[in-house]
């Protein structure tokens, strides 16, 4: 067994782990980071940027989101069933974290809304390509990695943490496994766990949440995120938390193009397998709200339906709603895109010459679907008596062909698992601090309650960065006190 010494060990190098490592190293501590994969960043490499409140970026755009108002909004959204002190510390730190990242050379394109009904809290990273979009945050991860290396942080890649060493009630070391299979023991004074949850552990996801990948659930699966840190923490007495999925709607399958996704991520008629409406479709832009509603339907699925008239309107004028991720406005070539997806065997998109044929292809109750469409069309001539959807989105379905897409719940990953206090110290079920052990990021993220707070976008990456910074700073204070 190889043996090393370090003040602090960070387990995993996603945004929370990198922020923790940099913060500890900025306090002149020696830091070792064990990372299971071949590079840093984890799920953040797929993202676009973190939340910030009252930031320098927002002030330049004259669109500052007041952190106290945001705090009230957040806590009322969660019915105060979350750690208010942790949320407040995160929000209060978020502006400084944006400046901290800028000092490393991270540039931000703008502070944006995710969708029209959200707030402009999402700080979109300006990527090296200059074109903001999915994966933009990988440039932020690169700058953070460079900063950590500059500070002397030692990275061990393809080297997962395996076990925490606890003596006399304190965490004093970590055992990891190198890529050659050799065990590595690090004697240290503090450990920070930031392993990103267990979204890639289908068995554990099903056991804990009930979702079954590929059947009633289609979430992201970032390779290697299988719950290592949660397991390690619990082995030394860490308390458990509720675990939720960071839900969002998912339209999956082969040959899905931006044009298909744009056409169906709209506030049009949404029905379940019973052929009934169950949701005010004007809120479909909030993917968490829509996924929550779909989640309690039969087989956890729902169908968005449009007709030839709606399609032609979109071809001529563009779609009704766009977001920072789904910012495709034109659906040129829609028919060809649909044909290609169906020919490729995609089971979640449908084209039919009649409502009866659409019901047969989708499995929707035909009689009820016809009744629902008749009623919906009547509402389009007046007002939506069912859910009160605004008139501009009430578009009747009267003209063949008919097009449908089948949505399921999806998720960006898991949330929660390791119990911490608002100082990011890992605690037991009885709230007793485990000295020398800290945790950050999605392993600890229980601040949303039962539903991701999409109205303040950038929250998960924002929480990861800020809780990581807090964990690094708090671990440094602990080491200095020894």
pLDDT in tens, 281-317: 999 999 999 999 999 999 999 999 999 999 999 999 9
State pLDDT tens for residues 419-440.
999 999 999 999 999 999 999 9
Pick from 270, 306, 269, 276: nearest CA to 366: 276
Output the six-digit token pair for 49: 């940027």
CA distances in angstroms from 339 to 265, 360, 403, listed in the order given: 19, 18, 11
Cα-trace Rg, the chain: 24
How many Å apart are CA 30 and CA 368, to the nearest integer? 66
pTM: 0.95
Pairing of strands 190-193, 433-439: parallel
Q: Where are the beta strands (DSSP E) in 90-243?
A: 108-112, 122-125, 154-157, 161-167, 170-177, 183-187, 190-193
Q: Where are the beta strands (DSSP E) in 243-373?
A: 244-250, 270-271, 302-307, 349-352
| Cα atoms found within 13 Å of the Cα of residue 10, Cβ hemisphere only | 38
Q: Is the pLDDT of residue 327 over 80?
A: no
Least confident range from 218-227, 300-309, 442-451: namely 218-227
Pairing of strands 244-250, 154-157: unpaired
Pick from 432, 478, 474: nearest CA to 93: 474
- The contacts of residue 251 (CB under 8 Å, 6+ apart) are 260, 261, 264, 265, 348, 349, 405, 406, 407, 408
Q: What is the mean pLDDT of the chain?
A: 96
Pick from 103, 93, 105: nearest CA to 50: 93
Pairing of strands 2-5, 433-439: unpaired
pLDDT band at residue 129 using 50, 70 and 90 as cut-offs: confident
CA distances in angstroms from 51 to 92, 143, 189, 266, 422, listed in the order given: 12, 18, 31, 25, 19
How many Å apart are CA 403 and CA 358, to the nearest integer? 8
Output the pLDDT for position 323. Answer: 83
Output the pLDDT for position 107. Answer: 96
| pLDDT, average across residues 53-70 | 91
- The contacts of residue 205 (CB under 8 Å, 6+ apart) are 198, 199, 211, 213, 217, 219, 245, 414
Output the six-digit token pair for 316: 């001529």
Tokens 């037991």 map to which residue? 428
Output the six-digit token pair for 346: 């995609």
The full set of domains in the chain, from first to last, is 2-243+416-481 (3.50.50.60), 247-410 (3.90.700.10)
pLDDT band at residue 65 using 50, 70 and 90 as cut-offs: confident
Output the six-digit token pair for 3: 């043996």
How many Å apart are CA 436 and CA 167, to the nearest integer? 11
How many Å apart are CA 48 and CA 133, to the nearest integer? 6
H-helix or E-strand spanning residue 96: helix 84-103
Q: Is the pLDDT of residue 92 over 80?
A: yes
8 Å CB contact between 367 and 387: no
Percent of the chain with pLDDT over 70: 100
pLDDT band at residue 63 using 50, 70 and 90 as cut-offs: confident
State pLDDT tens for residues 247-264.
999 999 999 999 999 999
């Amino acid at each position: 067994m190889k043996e090393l010494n370090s003040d602090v060990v960070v387990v995993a190098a996603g945004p929370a782990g990198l922020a923790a490592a940099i913060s500890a190293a900025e306090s002149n501590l020696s830091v070792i980071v064990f990372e299971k994969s071949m590079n840093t960043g984890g799920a953040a490499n797929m993202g676009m940027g973190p939340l910030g409140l009252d930031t320098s970026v927002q002030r330049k755009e004259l669109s500052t989101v007041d952190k106290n108002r945001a705090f009230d909004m957040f806590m009322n959204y969660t019915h105060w069933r979350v750690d208010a002190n942790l949320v407040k510390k995160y929000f209060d730190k978020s502006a400084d974290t944006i400046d901290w990242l800028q000092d490393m050379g991270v540039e931000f394109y703008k502070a944006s809304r995710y969708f029209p009904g959200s707030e402009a809290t999402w700080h979109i990273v300006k990527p090296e390509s200059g074109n903001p979009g999915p994966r933009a945050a990988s440039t932020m991860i690169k700058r953070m990695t460079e900063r950590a290396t500059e500070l002397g942080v030692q990275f061990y890649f393809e080297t997962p943490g395996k076990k925490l060493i606890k003596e006399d009630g304190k965490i004093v070391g970590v055992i990891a496994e190198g890529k050659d299979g050799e065990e590595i023991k690090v004697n240290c004074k503090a450990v920070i766990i930031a392993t990103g949850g267990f979204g890639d552990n289908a068995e554990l996801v099903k056991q804990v949440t009930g979702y079954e990948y590929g059947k009633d659930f289609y979430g992201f699966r970032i390779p290697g995120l299988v719950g290592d840190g949660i397991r390690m923490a619990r082995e030394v007495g860490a308390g458990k938390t509720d675990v939720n999925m960071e839900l969002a709607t998912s339209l999956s399958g082969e040959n899905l193009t931006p044009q298909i996704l744009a056409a169906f991520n709209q506030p049009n008629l949404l029905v379940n397998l019973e052929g009934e409406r169950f949701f005010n479709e004007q809120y479909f832009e909030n993917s968490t709200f829509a996924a929550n509603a779909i989640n309690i339907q039969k087989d956890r699925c729902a169908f968005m339906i449009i007709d030839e008239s709606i399609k032609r309107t979109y071809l001529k004028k563009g779609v009704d709603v766009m977001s920072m991720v789904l910012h495709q406005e034109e659906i040129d070539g829609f028919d060809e895109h649909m044909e290609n997806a169906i020919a490729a065997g995609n089971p979640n998109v449908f084209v039919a010459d009649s409502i009866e044929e659409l019901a047969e292809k989708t499995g929707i109750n035909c009689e009820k679907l016809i009744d629902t469409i008749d009623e919906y069309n009547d509402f389009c001539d007046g007002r939506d008596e069912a859910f009160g959807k605004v008139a501009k989105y009430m578009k009747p379905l009267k003209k063949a062909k008919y097009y449908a897409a089948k949505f399921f719940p999806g998720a960006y990953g898991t949330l929660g698992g390791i119990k911490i206090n608002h100082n990011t110290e890992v605690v037991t079920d009885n709230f007793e601090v485990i000295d020398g052990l800290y945790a950050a990021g999605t392993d600890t993220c229980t601040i949303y309650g039962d539903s991701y707070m999409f109205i303040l976008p950038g929250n998960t990456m924002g929480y990861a960065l800020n809780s990581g910074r807090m964990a690094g700073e708090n671990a440094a204070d602990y080491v200095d006190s020894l």
